[in-house]
Amino acid sequence: MIVFETPRLAMRLWTADDADRLFDIYSRWEVARWLGATPKVLETREQAVAVASRWSSSWEPPFGVWAVSVRETGVIAGSVLLIPLPGSSDIEVGWHLHPDSQGHGYATEAARAALDRARTAGVGEVFAVVRPGNDPSMAVCRRLGMESIGRTDRWYGVEAEAFRIPLVKVS
């Protein structure tokens, strides 16, 4: 089920049928090292099935973690997320791509569509939280027009670069 889309990408719910690709993405240290308070890789396909199930049922619209599917090929490039930040009413946009899907503009395109979803839902501002050293993700933030607000440990308890973008509501 497609939740939202762009000309090149379809953002949809993760399913158990996606477990192999989800596992392939999140079992890689080169992806997982940037994620969460304590980065860790998925170790089994069963964990991937559980993650797909959790991500497909954890949030109410407009929030979620969605599979980013390349329309031309059907390949899942990775994930895009729009979720409340831990212990806060602040909203985060994020992206995690398989290495074979990096460098094609998919992260920027999917995140921009997620920001449009947030704007339409009346969200006033959105944050991105990026671990120091993750230069490609910081570049995505800049392409999205997000402003750096410096380093903080406000949300995940680890120091990260924070970016912010105010959203103008669609009337």
Q: Average pLDDT of 111-139?
A: 97
**Model pLDDT for residues 48-106, shown as the tens digit of each residue:** 999 999 999 989 999 999 999 999 999 999 999 999 999 899 999 999 999 999 999 99
Q: Average pLDDT of 126-140?
A: 97
Across the chain, mean pLDDT equals: 95
Q: Is the pTM above the cut of 0.85?
A: yes
Torsion of CA 108, 99, 29, 133, to 10 degrees: -50
Question: Model confidence at 23, in pLDDT bands (50, 70, 90)?
Answer: very high
For the chain, the structural domain boundaries read 2-166
Instruction: Give the angle 55-119-58 at the CA atoms, nearest 5°.
Output: 15
Who wins on pLDDT, 43 or 36?
A: 43
Give yes or no for a contact between 63 and 98, defined as CB atoms under 8 angstroms apart.
Answer: no
Q: Average pLDDT of 130-144?
A: 97
Question: Model confidence at 1, in pLDDT bands (50, 70, 90)?
Answer: confident
Of 3.10.20.30, 3.20.20.80, 3.90.550.10, 3.40.630.30, the CATH number of 2-166 is 3.40.630.30
Element (H, E) at 120: helix 106-120
What's the CA gap between 25 and 48, in Å, rounded? 10
